[in-house]
Amino acid sequence: MTNPIRETLWDPIAGFGVTFRTMFRKPVTVQYPFEKVPTAPRFHGRHQLNRWPDGLEKCIGCELCAWACPADAIYVEGASNTEGDRHSPGERYGRVYQINYLRCILCGLCIEACPTRALTMTNEYQDFPDNNRADLIYEKNDLLAPLLPGMVEPPHEMMISDDHQDYYRGKQLPIFPVDPAETAEVNPAGTVSTGSTGVATGSTGASTGVSTGGSEE
Ligand code: SF4
Ligand code: SF4
């Protein structure tokens, strides 16, 4: 049974008591996008297509991520690597790769399905708000990991090994002794390391940095 005196006198006081207490607490509102707070380490943000330490792409165009996606947000078209046009170790690579962030619910099922750890998720979310639907369909170039020191933009030959399975075994870029005099002759400005070791650069000969393949996540 209700108590009319309690309803008319005490309940309003109790209600305003909550308001009064809250007035003196620190606000939790974040003034996004002017203020950005760091995410939790395992936050599911924008996807990334990873690379091997020589710059070749890890994606083999198998479409398993697309089949695993409950929102039908991923579109992949695979193609064959050829002599002179190699984008990944092995036979196939992802020629077309799109993620539609109008559909994606950031569940992470696609990265669980990927057999090569080509697809991972970053902590980034800042680019998602937009006023243009077309810009929220990310293409392969938007998703590819940046080139780290020692990586060379594909297409190029396999630099780590002629056997593509060595990539999956974790083999590193081969290291050959470098003659300091020869290096200085090639680059008198000294912008290339003149230490006692250097890194083989394969047929392109374009880079000398050492990479440990840490482009994921
Ligand atoms: S995170 Fe989930 S919804 Fe988004 S692309 Fe991957 S599987 Fe699809
Ligand atoms: S990202 Fe992974 S699962 Fe998706 S097509 Fe590439 S290799 Fe296959």
**21 in any annotated domain:** no
pTM: 0.74
**82 in any annotated domain:** yes
Q: Are 136 and 104 a contacting pair, CB within 8 Å?
A: no
Pocket test for ligand 2, best of 91, 98, 116 (most atoms within 8 A of CB): 116
How many structural domains does the chain have? 1
**94 in any annotated domain:** yes
**Closest to 92 (Cα-Cα) out of 108, 73, 115, 109:** 115
CATH number at residue 117: 3.30.70.3270
Give 72-105 pLDDT, tens digit per residue. 999 999 999 999 999 999 999 999 999 999 999 9
Q: Quick one: which ligand is closest to 138's CA?
A: 1
**110 in any annotated domain:** yes
User: Who lines ligand 2 at CB under 6 A?
Assistant: 59-65, 76, 94, 113-114, 116, 118-119
Give 19-50 pLDDT, tens digit per residue. 999 999 998 888 988 888 889 999 999 999 99
In the DSSP assignment, the letter for residue 80 is: E
**113 in any annotated domain:** yes
Q: Are 121 and 217 a contacting pair, CB within 8 Å?
A: yes
Q: How many residues does the chain have?
A: 217
Domain span at residue 167?
Answer: 39-217
202 alpha carbon to ligand 1 midpoint, in Å? 36
In the DSSP assignment, the letter for residue 10 is: I
**175 in any annotated domain:** yes
Contacts of 7 (CB under 8 A, 6+ apart): none
